[in-house]
Amino acid sequence: MKFTANDIAQLVGGKVEGDPEVVVSNISKIEEGKPGTLSFLANPKYIPYIYTTTASVVLVNKDFNADKPVSATLIRTDDAYSAFARLLQAYQKMKKDRTGIAKTAVIGESLHPDQSCFIGDYVVIEEGVSLGKNVKIYPHSYIGANSHINDNTTIFAGVRIYPDTRIGKNCTVHSGTVIGSDGFGFAPQQDNNYEKVPQIGNVIIEDSVEIGSNCTIDRATMGSTIIRKGVKLDNLIQVAHNVEIGENTVIAAQTGISGSTKVGKNNMFGGQVGLSGHIETADDVKIGAQSGIASSIKEKGLTVLGSPAFDISKYKRSILLFKNLPKLTERIGKIEQRLKENK
């Protein structure tokens, strides 16, 4: 797809400085700019590249002042980074604007998708499923019986959605993710064997949720595992049965949340965080990477780090002490040696 600088300026509400008819058909980093591409300048560290880039169009902030001539056409906006993000979203939406049902798709007789929907090759959709408008389901995905997927949601290739799942509007589920698999419920027996506890609940995913690749979200033992609106999950995340993740929480890769844990609103988890089961976190909590959370965090807005995790300011002081342990051990050894010599 090709756009002129003037087209782009209208999309982002910017002002063109240079040739309004110059055409771009791709994007590039400013330091790697090529003719026919669009780039942006938001970080002052990259200002030197504005004078050397060969990108045809560059988005800049309104207050940017050039010290030297710039060969690229500039589009001045209130916030170049946000404008670039909006352009990428519009571009992605155009790329995903596919419709129709592939001949190799297998869908339940009761399903009559809206004409705006797309169902790719070898998709299997069981009986009782309902789809909203503009739902996109890419090849080799499976949608279990009696599930519902609402408007403008995209299911990428190879996703597995078990029966009775509910997914809201404007969601994205990336390849390899499994939603609604059985929770890890096994009752220990006297003979040291384990009897499986049936998992008869479901998964509810509210609006505007994005789930990365190869995540697993288990169905509830009873009731629902719930991902509230606006949640963003990175790749490789495990959400156990009956977990509830609060609105607008963001969680980085390789995090695991044990069963029946309740995560507050607006939480931020770093990578490889682990949470024990049946605990809660307050709203606005931040948890540093590789932290272990064994008990509830009740203080709103607290930032913690470590395993077991505690207040980050105390953790940083503790690290300084820990780093000095070898020196302290050596000093104690010398003191003990002198005491022995003085006996």
Which among 194, 121, 206, 114 is positioned nearest to 157, based on CA atoms?
A: 121
The yes-or-no answer on residue 174 being catalytic is no
Which among 149, 180, 179 is positioned nearest to 167, based on CA atoms?
A: 149
Q: Across-strand partners of 269?
A: 251, 287
How many helices (H) does the chain have, and how many strands (E)?
4, 38
**What are the DSSP calls for 60-90, one per residue?**
EETT---SS---SEEEEES-HHHHHHHHHHH
Using DSSP bridges, classify how beta strands 57-61 and 73-77 pair: parallel, antiparallel or unpaired.
Answer: parallel
The dihedral through the CA atoms of 333, 334, 335, 339 has a sign that is positive
Q: Which of 148, 174, 241, 278 is catalytic?
A: 241
CB 274 within 8 A of CB 263: no
Which among 139, 146, 155, 129 is positioned nearest to 210, based on CA atoms?
A: 155
Segment holding 332, helix H or strand E: helix 325-341
Alpha-carbon radius of gyration of the chain: 27
Q: Report, as residue numbers or ranges, the catalytic residues.
A: 241
